[in-house]
Amino acid sequence: DKGGHRHFMLKEIMDQPQAMTAALKDRADFANGRPADVMQLERVVLIGCGTSLHAAQVGRHYIERLAGIPAEAESASEFRYRDPIIGPRTLVVSIGQSGETADTVAAMHLAREKGATLITICNAEESQAARVADGALYMHAGLEVGVASTKTFVASLTILQLLSVYLGQLRGKLDAETTRRLVDQMARGPGLIGEVLAEANLYSSLARRIGHYDNFLFLGRGANAAIASEGALKLKEISYIHAEGYPAGEMKHGPIALIDPEMCTVALAPRDDLRDKTLSNIKEVKARGGLVVAVLTKGDDEAASEVDFPLFIPQAPDLLMPLVTTVPLQLLSYYIALLRGCDVDQPRNLAKSVTVE
């Protein structure tokens, strides 16, 4: 049931506030609690593929910041063919909508052999990932039909944030009051996402202005670097447009050579600690004749005056920012793909669940 929408993908984008609420619900006891082990952890390794890899990359920021544990994110397809140095003091967190991705499951088996503690964040219950892991944190996002992951990405980020707060609390990095404040803050997420969704029409008209570009560069910093990669992935998957996602700080090391009037840059520059840095990248793109679409915080007229198409999102706490900035990029991809007559829900060459390498 597409809930009155033309495609499952749009329905699933629109369902994201509920997906976030569902992921937040009933988590008080997700602690199949082994506090002693948690104190021993030296490192967290987050693995996944595609969109789930991007969730892992955001999760890395959450773990470091909230739990104070060194963390890294890696593609499961790379991890499984290395000889990663992990052991009982490593927590491996696998992320996957399906829980059936061949590379992710193989990477989990490797982690298990090496004696790591293994958790999976997945949507599909009774999946292989859930069977291999010591514990599963389910997204409860409901069935995702569109091949392009949307609501399960938001659900993954929500659970990663909860997991990070949980670890931070157990390890004494977060006191009770901070924990409460963070949980209250997360509860604001669905409303913030809803505010972006309420303006979905804007993205449809923007798509008509920029949908003919054949090259897109997505830029962001911090957790938004992962969202830039996710924005590029969404666009290439469903509209077949060449798109790259880059940490904005990497611009000068190569991608800037691509900038000309034929290149559309989508920059994520909401008001946060890194906004000024990204704004200077935006100016560099403009100085070279590139077109700039930018996701900005409402009221940031200074930044808006520097770009061709500002896309405003509500002011959000830093930790919720990636959940909010991802929504405009999903909507933009959707409407561009629609305009180009692509099969949004079943893009060519792709499968919902990649069970072979």
Residues that bind ligand F6R (CB under 6 A): 49-52, 96-98, 101, 104, 147-149, 233, 237, 353-354
Q: How far is the CB of 226 from ligand F6R (least distance, A)?
A: 13
Residue 294 CA to residue 268 CA, distance in Å, equals 6
Q: How far is the CB of 273 from ligand F6R (least distance, A)?
A: 29
Give the DSSP H/E element, type plus range, for residue 186.
Answer: helix 176-186
Residue with the CB atom nearest ligand F6R in the bound state = 50
Residue 256 CA to residue 264 CA, distance in Å, equals 12
Q: How far is the CB of 110 from ligand F6R (least distance, A)?
A: 16
Residue 212 CA to residue 215 CA, distance in Å, equals 9
CA 200 from centroid of its chain's CA atoms: 19
- The letter for the amino acid at 10 is L
Q: Which residue, 145 or 354, has its beta carbon nearer to ligand F6R?
A: 354
| Phi and psi at residue 355, to the nearest 5° | -90, 0
**Cβ(210)–Cβ(196) below 8 Å:** no
Q: Which residue, 52 or 278, has its beta carbon nearer to ligand F6R?
A: 52
Q: Which residue, 139 or 182, has its beta carbon nearer to ligand F6R?
A: 139
Q: Which residue, 206 or 233, has its beta carbon nearer to ligand F6R?
A: 233
Q: How far is the CB of 211 from ligand F6R (least distance, A)?
A: 19
CA angle 115, 117, 122 (to 5 degrees): 130
Give the DSSP H/E element, type plus range, for residue 330.
Answer: helix 321-339
Q: Which residue, 69 or 232, has its beta carbon nearer to ligand F6R?
A: 232
Q: Which residue, 96 or 310, has its beta carbon nearer to ligand F6R?
A: 96
Q: How far is the CB of 140 from ligand F6R (least distance, A)?
A: 15
**Cβ(336)–Cβ(210) below 8 Å:** yes
Q: How far is the CB of 5 from ligand F6R (least distance, A)?
A: 18
Q: Which residue, 39 or 350, has its beta carbon nearer to ligand F6R?
A: 350
**Cβ(217)–Cβ(243) below 8 Å:** yes
* Cα separations in angstroms, 229 against 218, 234, 246, 300, 303: 7, 9, 6, 24, 22
Q: How far is the CB of 354 from ligand F6R (least distance, A)?
A: 5
Q: Which residue, 237 or 345, has its beta carbon nearer to ligand F6R?
A: 237
Q: How far is the CB of 313 from ligand F6R (least distance, A)?
A: 21
For the chain, counts of helices (H) and of strands (E):
15, 10
Which residue, among 277, 249, 294, 27, has the nearest Cα to 136 in the 3D structure?
A: 27
